[in-house]
Amino acid sequence: VGSHVPSRVLTNHDLERIVATTHEWIVTRTGMRERRIAAAHEATSDLAVAAGRRALEAAGVQPADLDMIIVATITPDYPFPNTACLVQRQLGADRAFCMGLEAACSGFLYGMETARCYIAAGMAQTALVIGAEKMSAVLDWTDRSTCVLFGDGAGAAVLRPAPAGRRGIISSVFGSDGTLSELLMIPAGGSRRPATAETVAAREHCLRMRGREVFRHAVTHMAEAAVAALHKAGLSIADIRWVIPHQANLRIIAAIGERLRCPASRFIVNVEKYGNTSAASIGLALDEAVRDGRIVDGDLVLMVAFGAGFTWGATVMEWTG
Ligand code: ACO
């Protein structure tokens, strides 16, 4: 695994100078204290490449060994070509086939599952999965209800078949509900409402969210997906060493902990440092916990995500490293 965040830190106090908000409001409602913001010249693929390089180094894999690259993002460099192709170019992974994946905050888990299926089907041996976002590029910096919540970053993982006798990815469950798409979206800039002077003036190319409704669905679906993935694995929450939830809001994470009857001490949480980095969030938290020695070889890890679409999913794995 590997990760990367831009060096510029934007604190809650900095945000007080941009919109009508307070450090106290943001900490109490979300648990966030600061987030990272990419430089004007840095695009999502740049963050993705840095995270991908670290993951390749950690795995002892060369770019030329990669059969596939998936980049999950809702902030691609361009509408097309897909960001994975841009990552391939920078890495020099010329044997890999490359695809983008759009599942918002569930992107990293959807990407891992897609790679797992290709590997299980014998169509790839070595896959690089990256969740990367430059959320700062799609935020409405006049909307205090959304701009304080998100940050930029990237998380990456190299996937290979599990060694003999090891379980690797044990179970996963995924779901979506397209009937609720309008609760969290970017209304313009796609084929339904192509960018015009009017859509840009109305900031319709920025993220819009009905936060309270999203909150409710996020808790319900993440808790249910976690229970379903555990059931499918034949495990109980007591067997799980670490839970890595999507880092959307500390209150959402606490509510999931209550529903799963899992103490906060077994959750990997870094939302206070990075805010919601969407598709990057679980990969970023996984990398941090592996590198600081919390997650060790043999640990059972439950990852659970929810995002725009809506999309959601949960994966149980035995960490091998
Ligand atoms: N500073 C100060 N006040 C604010 C701010 C702010 N930054 N933002 C909103 N408020 C105000 C509102 O205007 C409202 O005021 P009012 O009562 O006078 O109308 C009040 O605070 C309460 O607003 P709520 O929206 O009810 O606040 P809530 O407690 O629900 O918290 C939040 C808002 C943090 C957005 C929460 O709803 C949330 O986290 N939702 C889920 C977000 C999420 O999980 N997203 C995940 C998916 S993201 C993806 O897929 C890309």
Q: Is the dihedral of CA 139, 144, 145, 148 positive or negative?
A: positive
Alpha helices for 158-203 (secondary structure H): 197-201
Q: How many CA atoms lie within 13 A of 6 on its CB side?
A: 26
Place of tokens 């990815």: 169
Mean pLDDT of the chain: 98
Q: Is the CB of residue 106 below 6 angstroms from any atom belonging to ligand 1?
A: no
Amino acid at 250: L
User: How far does the centroid of ligand 1 lie from the alpha carbon of residue 195, in Å?
Assistant: 27
Is residue 209's pLDDT more than 90? yes
Going by C-beta distance under 8 Å and a sequence separation of 6 or more, which residues neighbour residue 117? Answer: none
Sign of CA dihedral 100, 101, 106, 111: negative
**pLDDT tens digits, 54-96:** 999 999 999 999 999 999 999 999 999 999 999 999 999 999 9
3-state secondary structure at position 36: strand
% of the chain beyond a pLDDT of 90:
100
Q: What's the CA-to-centroid distance between 143 and ligand 1, angstroms?
A: 11
Angle 49-151-9 from CA coordinates, rounded to 5°: 90
Give the nearest ligand 1 atom to 135 CA: 51
For a mutational test of ligand 1's pocket, the pick from 18, 73, 142, 145, i.e. the residue with the most ligand atoms closer than 8 A to its C-beta, is 145
Bridge partners for 303 per DSSP: 244, 315
Q: Which atom of ligand 1 is nearest to the CA of 148?
A: 7
Distance in angstroms (rounded) separating the CA atoms of residues 98 and 12: 37
pTM over 0.95: yes
Q: Is 105 a catalytic residue?
A: yes
- Measured CA to CA, the distance from residue 116 to residue 125 in angstroms comes to 10
Helix/strand/coil for 52: helix
pLDDT, tens only, 213-268: 999 999 999 999 999 999 999 999 999 999 999 999 999 999 999 999 999 999 99
246 counts as catalytic: yes
Answer left, alpha or beta for residue 295, where phi above 0 means left and psi between -120 and 50 means alpha.
beta
91-119 residue pLDDT tens: 999 999 999 999 999 999 999 999 999 99
| Residue 208 tokens, joined | 């819009």
Contact 134/47 with Cβ under 8 angstroms?
yes
Spatial CA neighbour of 153 closest among 111, 108, 112, 116: 108
**For ligand 1, mutation pick of 13, 139, 212 (most atoms within 8 Å of CB):** 212
Distance CA 91, CA 71 (A): 13
Helix/strand number for the chain, H first, E second: 11, 13
Structure tokens at 176: 């979506």
CA distance linking residue 223 with residue 146, whole number of Å: 24
pLDDT of residue 269: 98
Beta-carbon neighbour count of residue 92 at 10 Å?
11
Cβ–ligand 1 contact at 307 (below 6 Å): yes
Structure token digits, residue 285? 């938290």
Catalytic option among 147, 221, 246, 249: 246
Task: Choose, from 105, 147, 206, 249, the residue flagged as catalytic.
Answer: 105
What digits encode the pLDDT tens for the residues 123-173?
999 999 999 999 999 999 999 999 999 999 999 999 999 999 999 999 999
Report d(CA 225, CA 314) in Å as an integer. 5
pLDDT of residue 321: 83
What's CA 52's distance to the chain center, in Å?
14
Mutate to test the pocket of ligand 1, among 13, 21, 29 (most ligand atoms within 8 A of CB): 29
